[in-house]
């Protein structure tokens, strides 16, 4: 199950863009904690404390114990905003969790025993459809990951979330049976015959064009023999 991360934060009184910019100039990250039927609380966190946890890729499913002015608040991140150009963190939202809170989280999916899948040994390719799954669970029992065992999988087979045994008290958010992976056959490359040196492939050879016959009644070109069976051309009239 997910371990709980400890983060220190300080409360702040002012809201708005100007106040947030002032917080960021001090090397801090502005944030807010809301939920559990309580008033939202504005906070600020040290950038260097938050950044490593965001970089893990699992920050949004990590339980956080926020120590705010000496009081600890159990929460889970719900949103992280980034500056679009320089890509640094500019704001974090936390959901406050009560004692019996249940939350929807994205949990990573890991695949094991690829070497024990006959379909992959036979040249098939593993297609990963879902790298994460949305699960509904108790805030205190968030799975670290969902593991998919590929042992015995053949070409053409797939694995769905309904085939995975989830921890007790954990259920899928979606009503649809999510596909996690499948093994598909590798596409075979079509062989193209290679022509010998200097030889033109038959498909590229052009048939000789047939000689165009002169139009009916037209005189043959100068120096050209009249067509077989055609009447000789009339002599040119003499100039007077």
- The SS3 of residue 133 is strand
Q: Which of 159, 184, 209 is the last residue of a domain?
A: 184
pLDDT over 80 at 89, yes or no: yes
Does the structure show a pLDDT above 80 at 18?
yes
Cα–Cα distances in angstroms (integers) from residue 221 to residues 76, 216, 218, 229, 238, in the given order: 94, 13, 9, 17, 21
pLDDT of residue 144: 87
Kindly report the number of other CB atoms within 10 A of residue 234's CB atom: 7
172 and 91 within one domain: no
pLDDT averaged over every residue in the chain: 83
Taking the C-alpha atoms of residue 13 and residue 30, their distance in angstroms, rounded to an integer, is 11
Same domain, 116 and 172: yes
Question: Can you tell me the distance from the alpha carbon of 99 to that of 37, in angstroms, rounded to the nearest whole number?
Answer: 13
Last residue of a domain, one of 163, 184, 205: 184
Three-class DSSP category at 99: coil
CA 130 to chain centre: 9
Q: How far apart are CA 143 and CA 39, in angstroms?
A: 29
Question: What CATH code is carried by the domain that includes residue 76?
Answer: 2.40.240.10
Q: What is the pLDDT of residue 196?
A: 55
Whether the predicted pLDDT of 137 surpasses 80: yes
- Whether 205 is in a domain gets the answer no
Residue with tokens 């205190």: 140
151 has a pLDDT exceeding 80: yes
Domain count, the chain: 2
> Do 87 and 23 share a structural domain?
yes
Residue 73 sits in the same domain as residue 115: no
pLDDT tens digits for range 192-234:
555 555 555 555 555 555 444 555 555 555 555 555 555 555 5
Asked if residue 31 is part of any domain, the answer here is yes
Shared domain for 115 and 162, answered yes or no, is yes
Contact by Cβ (8 Å): 58, 131: no
Q: Domain range spanning residue 24?
A: 4-97
Beta pairing partners, 65: 6, 74
Q: What is the CATH number of the domain that holds 123?
A: 2.170.120.20
């Amino acid at each position: 199950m997910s371990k709980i991360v400890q983060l220190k934060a300080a409360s702040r009184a002012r809201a708005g863009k100007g106040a947030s910019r002032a917080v960021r100039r001090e090397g801090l990250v502005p944030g807010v904690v809301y939920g559990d039927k309580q008033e939202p609380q504005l906070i600020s966190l040290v950038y260097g404390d938050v950044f490593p946890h965001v970089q893990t890729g699992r920050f949004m499913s990590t339980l956080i114990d926020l120590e705010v002015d000496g009081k600890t608040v159990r929460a889970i991140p719900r949103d992280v905003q980034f500056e679009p150009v320089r890509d640094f963190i500019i704001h974090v939202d936390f959901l406050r969790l009560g004692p019996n809170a249940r939350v929807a989280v994205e949990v990573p999916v890991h695949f094991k025993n690829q070497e024990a899948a006959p379909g992959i040994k036979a040249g098939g390719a593993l297609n990963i459809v879902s790298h994460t799954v949305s699960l509904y669970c108790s805030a205190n029992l968030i799975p670290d990951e969902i593991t998919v065992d590929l042992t015995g999988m053949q070409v053409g087979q797939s694995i769905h979330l309904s085939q995975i045994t989830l921890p007790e008290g954990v259920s899928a958010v979606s009503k649809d049976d999510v596909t996690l992976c499948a093994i598909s056959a590798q596409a075979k490359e079509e062989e193209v015959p290679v022509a010998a040196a200097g030889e033109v492939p038959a498909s590229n050879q052009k048939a000789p064009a047939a000689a165009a016959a002169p139009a009916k009644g037209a005189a043959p070109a100068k120096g050209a023999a009249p067509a077989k069976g055609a009447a000789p051309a009339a002599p040119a009239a003499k100039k007077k």
